[in-house]
A and B are shown apart, each in its own frame.
Chain A
Amino acid sequence: MRDAVAELVRDGDTVVIEGFTHLICFAAGHEIIRQRRRDLTLCRLTPDLVYDQMIAAGCARKLVFSWAGNPGAGSLHAFRRAVERGTPPLELEEYSHFGMVARLSAGAARLPFWPLRDYMGTDLPEANPRIRTVACPYTGETLATVPALNPDVTIVHAQRADAEGNTQIWGLLGVQKEAALASSRVIVVVEELVDQTVIRADPNRTIIPGLAVNAVVVEPWGAHPSYAQGYYDRDNDFYVAWEAISRDPDALARYLDEFVHGVRDRAEYVARCGGLERLRARQQVCAGVNYGY
């Protein structure tokens, strides 16, 4: 992870760490904080705890997003301090989920924008002048448009990949495929590195082809405190605890000192958290299909 971030994430980059509740790569977020990257434009549908931590750590210049809460548990207080009080200053570019999905779809297709039937009657285009309209050349209908999002680097957490980066994900898929294909550089972080025969045995489960991947990092528990279907459950107690930690800037700084700056890598983080085995997923294995012909 240290080498992948050092080589592929640069100051001033536009960075996407995707994963909708599922498979959020905290391991990469923490490594970016440890390497003290600055002036990043952070993009995610749901900034979640990982971007709250990166904002608090001073990595972010700008946030591009569509829902900034602590899902099921409260607020993101580092984000709120930045927006409500300007400490630290944070530029915002705000969409809805559909808008963010459309931006990444345009990015993946290498089109300049994506049309959608959305935003009429809302105040979002006034808050964000990059949400515009276009007249349909066939029907004349006025459609909303959002600009393509083409990140410098996208980081995706996955259950497994082979050494070439052929990446398999199951459970909630979010926008990881679009984000990876839209990006100049892609880091895939996996729970398990598998032999290519495992990938070839079930090719429909491959979400990102290795041809789009620059680096594969093996980092078990790398999505904690979010979850990995079939590997471990969400650490909901930590999401609830974040409400109090993030509300107090000193408590948040202590958290970063202890769990991010104070550990060398993910293995040390896992050891310091302790007791993560309680989150281990139970077995519910599907039967598989016949790929023969």
Chain B
Amino acid sequence: MTYSPSEMMAAVAARELRDGEVVFVGIGLPNLACNLARATHAPRLLLIYESGAVGAEPERLPVSIGDPALVTGSLMVCGMADVFQGLLQNGRIEVGFLGGAQIDRFGNINTTVVGSYARPKVRLPGSGGAAEIAIHARRTLVVSRLSKRAFPAEVDFITSPGHRMKGRDRRQLGMPGAGPVRVVTDKAILDADPDSGELVLAALYPGVTPDDVQAGVGWPLRSRPALADVAPPTARELQLLREVLDPRRLYLSS
């Protein structure tokens, strides 16, 4: 069965989630992955959106992080002060899910500017809740497509911290969460090395070589001694993604 890179990314990201976990959900592929996990192996996954919906079970694909479908039928709707103070800073979020325009060697993420802050070449949206998710979630998953532009050796601006920031690590800086431990791309899975904090090649998708991955990464990519294989999306996963979760193919088209 053929499938698109985004379908593969959604399926791989979904498998990262364990049943019963509390997930802080972003819009787009992370949202698809969470709802796919809920429909397959993790029916008790608890979805929390920064807009204040807790235990959301959206009947339609939310087009924004504040979609009214996140409210209807959820367990709780609270103000954003409660979300960030009482849930995230409180340590209740087990998994954070982030994307990013740029991700560097140490998992630092930039969603703020390309170029200098004062005179940016491209002004991106900024942090939203990403900075505090990367700091507080017990672990963070990142979803992003490989390219030299998206994976530079060093980001132009650290919006959300990874594992080494200007020579200092997370423990020295007093961050409660483990940070971006895993990056799900369109060709492979990268893991943060527990000692150095550097992103290394951990698993390859079917038909992908290490050189293919290196071509989309802006630093000499080291590799785990034994690379795992990643299974393609199952027929069930594809059917759910295409017919139930994103029938209009808002996020799955490429």
Residues of A with Cβ closer than 8 Å to B? 20-22, 45-46, 65-69, 71-73, 75, 79-80, 83-84, 94-98, 101-102, 105, 116-124, 126-127, 141-142, 170-175, 177-178, 227, 229, 233-234, 236, 239, 281, 284
A123 touches B68 (CB 8 A): no
A234 touches B64 (CB 8 A): yes
**A21-B67, A101-B84, A172-B52 in contact; A80/B128 too (CB < 8 A)?**
no
B122 touches A96 (CB 8 A): no
12 A–B contacts from the bound complex (CB under 8 Å): A21-B67, A66-B126, A66-B127, A67-B126, A68-B123, A83-B120, A98-B84, A120-B175, A122-B165, A127-B157, A229-B71, A239-B64
Bound-state CA distance A45–B72 (Å) is 23
Is B130 an interface residue, CB under 8 A from the partner? yes
Q: Which of B3-11, B73-81, B145-153, B182-190 contacts A (4 or more CB under 8 A)?
A: B73-81
Min CB distance, A84 to chain B, in Å?
Answer: 5
Bound-state CA distance A67–B27 (Å) is 14
Is B193 an interface residue, CB under 8 A from the partner? no
B68 touches A233 (CB 8 A): yes
Minimal Cβ-Cβ distance residue in A for B175? A120
Bound-state CA distance A127–B70 (Å) is 34
A173 touches B68 (CB 8 A): no
B129 touches A97 (CB 8 A): yes
Bound-state CA distance A173–B66 (Å) is 10
82-132 of chain B: CB within 8 A of chain A: 84-85, 88-89, 108, 112, 117, 120-123, 125-132
Residues in A with CB closer than 8 Å to B88 are 98
A67 touches B127 (CB 8 A): yes
Is B160 an interface residue, CB under 8 A from the partner? yes
Residues in A with CB closer than 8 Å to B161 are 120-122
Residues in B with CB closer than 8 Å to A234 are 63-64, 67-68
Bound-state CA distance A286–B112 (Å) is 41
Residues in A with CB closer than 8 Å to B27 are 71-72
A171 touches B71 (CB 8 A): yes
DSSP majority for the A interface?
loop
A172 touches B81 (CB 8 A): no
Bound-state CA distance A171–B121 (Å) is 38
A123 touches B158 (CB 8 A): yes
Minimal Cβ-Cβ distance residue in A for B118? A127
B123 touches A117 (CB 8 A): no
Min CB distance, A204 to chain B, in Å?
Answer: 13
Q: Which of B66, B89, B122, B165 contacts A116 (CB 8 A)?
A: B89
Residues in B with CB closer than 8 Å to A170 are 77
